[in-house]
Structure 1
Amino acid sequence: MGTAADSKAVWLDDAKIRNTLESCSREDVARIRDVLEKARELKGLSPADVAVLMGISSPELLSDLYLTAKAAKEEIYGNRIVLFAPLYISNLCSNECLYCAFRKSNKAVVRRALNKEEITEETKAILRQGHKRVLMVAGEAYPGSGISYVLDAIDAIYDAREDGSSIRRVNVNLAPLSVEDFRQLKNRNIGTFQLFQETYHRETYKQVHLSGPKSDLDWRASSFDRAMLAGIDDVGMGLLYGLYDWRYETLALMQHIAHLEDRFGVGCHTISVPRIEPAVGSDMASHPPHAISDKDFLKLVAILRLAVPYTGIIMSTRENANIRSLTLELGVSQISAGSRTNPGGYKESSQFEAAQFQLGDHRTLAEVVKDLGDHGFIPSFCTGCYRLGRTGKDFMDLAKPGLIKAKCAPNALSTFEEYLLDYATDEARLAGQGAIASTLNGMEDRTRRVSENLLAKVRSGQRDVYC
């Protein structure tokens, strides 16, 4: 059972964050070079280290930061980029969040909660694109029977079939839950539980969350404690950059990660870094109070890659194609593609009036795949780790010594080959085959043999093969 402490963010230390920022307020060349050298060991960075790197402003040091982050990403993830699609099942919400189109009082949004049949049809539309992994998203209010609506939706996604294909892993982005509800969620065989804190700055949090359950910062910030107590050991954190100073927010995020590592032995599996984008009915979304520039945003991604080297960094289609491409070189390891952010958006023509925010990257999955292949990346649709129990601490125990690459690289290739054979355009197939050949040539012998074996199985007609 959870305790009162499981609903309080006692680890969030405002004074400590401010002291750290103040002590690293200027660009210190010697300290920066020391931190970059430390970062190359791929053992993570302290909050003070992170603050030192935030002070980088000169082009030369910025280039050094980018090169270090690129090397770290390639060492850990190689050229793999995990792909997924968000599936919005509802835009009903009980909260009053000034930056969000889904907020309760916003009359400009057409409200909708999909039924099981509609969720099935949305899933089939996603499957026709070639996706195998979805992030199920719901506004923070559920019709009828509450959590049962969410559980039934997960079942509907898993049960959907399109030409023999099905979704292999459902990750979820949901409102905070009790320990008991988290246990029910775990029993539905989810992958990662994702929740965005939006901002850790208490005064800002109060100003932008006017009412509803989300107005309680502590209940939200303690959600991952309750999730892990319920046995969900893969959690995904996220901030909404633009609500408050990005440097403060990032150091608070580091405190959150450190808390989970201290208490449960493992931090977050992923970090999402969305920036505020225009949303219908929200003036704040069009005029962020602390907008983060492209330069600082790219610096942020690189710093996160070095601070938590074995954590996945997710970049959504909020950002335009150019920014997304640049961040792939700096540390991003997962991206959404062909996304819709309104319930029913895949099956029907997308309506911005029902969407949570405005998209920056409107490319289809096929177009994203071709672009990744042209640049030598391997789009991965792999879900093997989830299904073999390589999650939480078990995943990190393999990742930190560098052993997980021997599993992830072959699985990425086999799932990419599936996509190329079953869904790809001729152009994407040509680009993908070149990327696969190049990747095989760069592998050590044993991993290459495993990869070639999986590829041969896929080419012979087998599907969903992994190691």
Structure 2
Amino acid sequence: MDYPEFLNVSELKKLASRRAPDQVEMEAILDKALKLKGLNTEEAAALLAVRDEKQIRLIMDAAEKAKETIYGKRMVIFAPLYSGNHCSNNCLYCGFRKDNKDIARRKLNQDEITQQTRMLLKEGHKRLLLLSGESGHYPLAYLKESLKTIYSVNEEGASIRRVNVEIAPLSVDQFKELKECSIGTYICFQETYDPDLYRKYHISGPKSNYENRLFVMHRAMEAGIDDVGIGALFGLGDHRFEVLAMMRHAEELERLYGCGPHTVSVPRIEPAPGSELTENVPFPVDDDAFRTIIAVIRLSLPYTGIILSTRESAELRQELFRYGVSQVSAGSKTSIGGYTEKEAENQQFALGDHRSMEEVLADMVGMGFIPSFCTGCYRKGRVGQDFMDLAKPGLIKHYCLPNGIVSFAEYLMDFAGEETRQKGFALINKLTEEESDSVVQGNIRSSLEKITAGERDIYL
């Protein structure tokens, strides 16, 4: 197979096998990382080679400083909504794969999508990720109708304010249609960037075309989609190679379109019904390696959001909040109709974090984080390159912290139990008092007064 020129697979594989750095090299790389200008693949490869616990701790500490500087104390919250699980692909790691006869196939109609959305609104969600299997059952017309349905649902004055989408690759013209539906971020995982392994795991179906999937973000951005999200499924290949390949992917998008990916997702393989591969992971990623992955991505792509799903345990998720993760799902269901039905016979993969959304948020508050439901940047047009132009000089925090605090205050007023409400407002008051910029502090106070008075959906 011909390797895409920008990826240079053979070079990255060589880098991925390098030795761990000595102390002098390690300190030089981390000093550069803390300038928040990013790392190149050679420097990232050095950090990814580290296995010594003390050196891993140094990397984690640097990532914590970088995250705190850029993102402060806010953590974006969302929920996935699976609209169906029919699939034309045979991906050996996925419970939705075509040849899995042990799973019940289902496609939600628009009334069912309305019911799922209502249930999520009752929990307090404002941001959703719409997903489906990759199949002719889910043509673009169905997806556009589903987006329209989700945005139209009103539950006692509450509505979904932003829907990101994770669907099969589209053509440039199809992406132009999708853009008109007011989507947030378009997300699509390469799964593995290793072309040979990709062919091994994707044995049939449209997804077996490696290059069609690799260049999907090029088509999306050419069509005017401002924010895109990339990712790899860790466990399919050497995790060091996958991280370096994602970095090259990000560099190529920025070179061509002036902006790299808005988010990077870091799922690990979890058991999936009907998938033997998930019971014997080809390239296992232990917790120390996973910690390093997240920390190195944070240091290498400092202004790119890192998404962590409920595949991971509650304990590990809480730890990783500090070291690079900036967006998390909460109260998630990966089954079709899972938010209104108790049975989960058709889930895509097993969950590691089974806490309710309020439990996740309460634990976050206990760690000093503000759960954010903010969608202000999307609606004010601070997306793509405009977002990065504010993020890189550190100006985006003037919007993120106030909008995060105010959106969380709205949640506390409308959905939280009394204990969570009291602890949440105590944290809000503390962070507001600690804000050193008088203008930002004033914006927070005035917006909180409006929320207390009954106004909603306030953002800068």
- The Cα shift of 1:9 comes to 4.1
User: Which whole-Å deviations, capped at 9, do the CAs of 1:39-89 have from their partners, x for residues lacking one?
Assistant: 000010000010111122223222211111001000000010000000000
Closer/same/farther in 2, CA of residues 139 and 79 from structure 1, 3 Å limit: same
1:309-351 deviation digits (Å, cap 9, x = unpaired): 0000000000010110111011001000000011110011141
- Secondary structure at the aligned position of 2:203 is classed as strand
More displaced stretch, 184-193 vs 430-439: 430-439
Match of 2:216 among 223, 235, 239: 223
Q: Which residue of the other structure, out of 426, 433, 436, is the alignment partner of 1:441?
A: 433
SS at match of 1:340: coil
SS in structure 2 at match of 1:12: coil
Moved more, 327-336 or 432-441: 432-441
State the TM-score, normalized to the length of structure 1. Answer: 0.96
| TM superposition shift of 1:407 | 0.7
The reply on whether 1:194 has 2:193 as its aligned counterpart is no
Q: 2:175 aligns with which of 173, 179, 182?
A: 182
Match of 2:263 among 270, 283, 286: 270
Matched residue, 2:387: 395
The one-letter code matched in structure 2 to 1:238 is: G
Kindly indicate whether the alpha-carbon contact (under 8 Å) linking 2:77 and 2:329 is maintained by their aligned counterparts in 1. yes
Distance 1:215 1:62 in 2: 36
| CA–CA distance in structure 2, aligned partners of residues 131 and 216 of structure 1 | 35
Residue of structure 2 equivalent to 1:254: 247
Structure 1: segments with no counterpart, 5+ residues = 1-7
CA contact (8 A) 1:314 1:332 kept: yes
1:49 is aligned to 2:43: yes
Alpha carbons 2:80, 2:128 under 8 Å: kept: yes
Pairing of 1:64-143 with structure 2 (within 5 A): 64-143=58-137
Matches of residues 374-389 of structure 1 in structure 2 within 5 Å?
A: 374-389=366-381
Shift of 1:15: 1.6
Query: 1:300 aligns to what?
Result: 293
Which of 222, 229, 236 is matched with 1:243 structurally?
236
Corresponding residue number in structure 2 for 1:210 = 203
* 1:13 and 2:8 matched: yes
Q: 1:416 aligns with which of 402, 408, 431?
A: 408
Structure 2, unaligned stretches of length 5 or more?
none
Which residue type is aligned with residue 205 of structure 1?
A: Y
Instruction: In structure 2, give the amino acid aligned to 1:420.
Output: L
Letter in 1 for 2:183: I
Q: TM-score, normalised by structure 2?
A: 0.98
Moved over 3 A (4+): none
Q: CA deviation at 1:32?
A: 1.0
Residue identity in the other structure for 1:140:
E
Which amino acid counterpart does residue 198 of structure 2 have in structure 1? Y
* RMSD value, Cα: 1.2
Alignment check: 8 A CA contact 2:84 2:133 kept: yes
Aligned to 1:3: none
CA contact (8 A) 1:186 1:231 kept: yes
CA contact under 8 A between 1:28 and 1:52: conserved in structure 2? no
Identical pairs, percent:
47
